[in-house]
Amino acid sequence: MVKSDPIIEFAHVTKIYEGYDSKVIALNDVSLKIYPREFIAITGPSGSGKSTILHCMGLLDRPTNGKIFIEGKDTSEITGKDVALLRGKKIGFVFQSYNLIPRLTVVENVILPGLIIGRKKEELKKKAMQLLREVGIEHRAEHRGVHLSGGEQQRVAIARALINDPII
């Protein structure tokens, strides 16, 4: 069996946050590879760099040194709108605070990432309803996010993260 190429690769990634009078080394020479259909857990004590790894992996932050590859593409060579486009097409996020837009309905919150990358609204609505059905919240599709329980908001965030069939 031939092993496929990694979806994500960190090559000697270091991330340093510089404050007024101090430096925090959040990641120090991290190398890792994540392959298709592989599940990983990032664990460790508070302040050990877990969120920094996820922010770098999601292209929300850039490493100070080293390289991050997504499907073999060096992300340091991507800038501006292309970063946002890659993030929108390849990466699904479920934020700890869910980040639903209060004035939008559940289905509108779910389709938003697809609209941002130029997908057709009707196609997205059909997919959104399927995802909402799968997470058991289809009956709340036309409700606003602010009227949902925390657990319901989390399920909406999961559906939203999956709307573009991300690889990550």
Predicted confidence (pLDDT) per residue in 67-122, tens digit:
999 999 999 999 888 998 898 889 888 877 788 998 999 999 999 999 988 999 99
Predicted confidence (pLDDT) per residue in 53-69, tens digit:
999 999 999 999 999 99
Q: How far apart are CA 64 and CA 11, in angstroms?
A: 12
Q: Which two tokens stand for residue 56?
A: 């770098």
pTM for this prediction: 0.81
Predicted confidence (pLDDT) per residue in 128-147, tens digit:
999 999 999 999 999 998 88
Residue 44, phi-psi category: left (phi > 0), alpha (psi -120 to 50), beta (remainder): left
Q: Which helix (H) or strand (E) holds 84?
A: helix 80-90
Burial of 102 (0-12, 13-18, 19+ CB in 10 A): exposed
Residue 91 has phi, psi (to 5 degrees) of -125, 130
Q: Domain extents for the chain?
A: 8-77, 106-162
CATH number of 8-77: 3.40.50.300
Which pLDDT band, with edges at 50, 70 and 90, does 3 fall under?
A: low
Could you tell me if 16 and 26 are in contact, meaning their C-beta atoms sit under 8 angstroms apart? yes
